[in-house]
Amino acid sequence: MEDVNGSNTSCFIGCFTRDYGDLVAADHHDVPMYHGTGTRSAIMSHRISRFFNMKGPSFSLDTACSSSMVALHLACQSMRNGESNMSVVGGINLLLMPDVMGAMTTLKFVSPVGRCQAFDHRADGYSPGEGAAFCVLKPLHLAVKNGDVIRGIIRDTAVDQDGNTPGLMVPSAKAQEDLIRRVYEETGLPLADTPYVEVHGTGTPAGDAVEAMALGATFGRARVGKGPLYMGSVKSNIGHLEGASGIVQLVKAVMMLEKGQVPPSIWYEKPNPRIPLEKWNLAVPTELINWPAQGFRRISINSFDYGGTNAHCIVDGVSDYFQTHRIYNHLTLPAGPSSGRRGVWLELEYDPRVNRPRLRLRHCSEHHHGGTEGVGQ
């Protein structure tokens, strides 16, 4: 914590619901004194920055269901631009009033059975969930130099917008496909090397089909001859955390990379008839699968919002990345009860296309006794 105090650490929080503020203001004759300063979305990030004396950029943002993934993207951009050298990123979702859920139910967005049956033939809407998740990001070369515990490598992030679709809440497979292609082209990574995507997968028949179409046109097509692209959604386990859903997907992805296993997608029986899995070279895991021995541990994450703002993130497993880039003897602890750690520590890899010199680890810290080869490309 000493490193955070007074540093230019940034804070980006994704949020969507404002139920608590509306709840405490419902009685206009008894509004709490600090309602105006204590319940506004902006205060979510500002309070964290104030408490830990973090001097970097700090703001909360709302792009509906993609909020926390967009927050992650902005945190990465902040560090690439030199505004901050560490970032706290998170998302939170609380459902305390029936108003929004009532409206979503009227629109037939919410599952009447209360289950997120992503990609299944019974998919009938999303199931709302509550929770919060946070992670800490740091440029990879600084994390290695400082001997920090590294839990995952963010290769790149990107954001785009659907634009003019037939309706405000109608997703665009083309925009999703373009986003995936762009982020992989920017990093110079082949689509064929990614065996799994943590999908947005809310369990809406139309939304799932559009997302699957984009995945088939990108990863599925690239992986012909290498096996299908596996796809799963944490929303089937914990519900749709809306503004916090993207960062929860990231937590799941890191756990999968560390464990080397692909969990089954619950509530899944057979595919949505609009999704020809075999034709698109896609698969939904129905049992626990060990990561292929020859496969690189890499996961892509989709996070979308009902207004058309899409975000994508590529995450690599630490061990594979370190071996490929010849980073030796660095401390990487497994996520689990034996480690005594519950947070997820993630590191940002610098993009070679930013206007900066190539980054190399030239001096080893007391925690790092390996070679001094380049840690990023």
Short-list 80, 79, 100, 99, CA closest to 88: 79
Name all domains of the chain by residue range, CATH numbers in brackets.
Answer: 10-348 (3.40.47.10)
Distance CA 253, CA 197 (A): 9
Bridge partners of residue 299, in order along the sequence:
196, 315
Neighbouring residues of 320: CB distance < 8 A, sequence distance ≥ 6: 296, 297, 298
Contact yes or no for 262/285 (Cβ under 8 A): yes
Average pLDDT on 343-361 reads: 46
Nearest to 318 by CA among 141, 194, 195, 152: 152
| H or E element at residue 131 | strand 131-139
Three-state secondary-structure class, residue 181: helix
Q: What are phi and psi of 136, to 5 degrees?
A: -115, 130
Using the predicted structure, report yes or no on whether residue 295 has a pLDDT greater than 80: no
Joined tokens for residue 295: 């496969």
3-class secondary structure, 52:
helix
Closest C-alpha among 249, 351, 242 to residue 300? 249
- Provide the pLDDT confidence category of residue 356 given band limits of 50, 70 and 90: very low
Which residue shows structure tokens 């990379």?
257
Q: Where are the beta strands (DSSP E) in 75-119?
A: 87-93
Chain segment 192-250, per-residue pLDDT in tens: 999 999 999 999 999 999 999 999 999 999 999 999 999 999 999 999 999 999 999 99
Q: Is the pLDDT of residue 129 over 80?
A: yes
Q: Which amino acid is at 292?
A: P
Distance CA 321, CA 358 (A): 17
Out of 78-87, 328-337, 360-369, which region has the weakest mean confidence (pLDDT)? 360-369
Q: List all residues 6 or more positions away from 158 whose beta carbon is below 8 Å from its beta carbon.
A: 73, 179, 182, 183, 186, 311, 312
What does residue 170 show for φ and ψ, rounded to 5 degrees? -95, 115
Each residue of 47-100: pLDDT tens digit?
999 999 999 999 999 999 999 999 999 999 999 999 999 999 999 999 988 887
Residue 348's pLDDT is what? 56
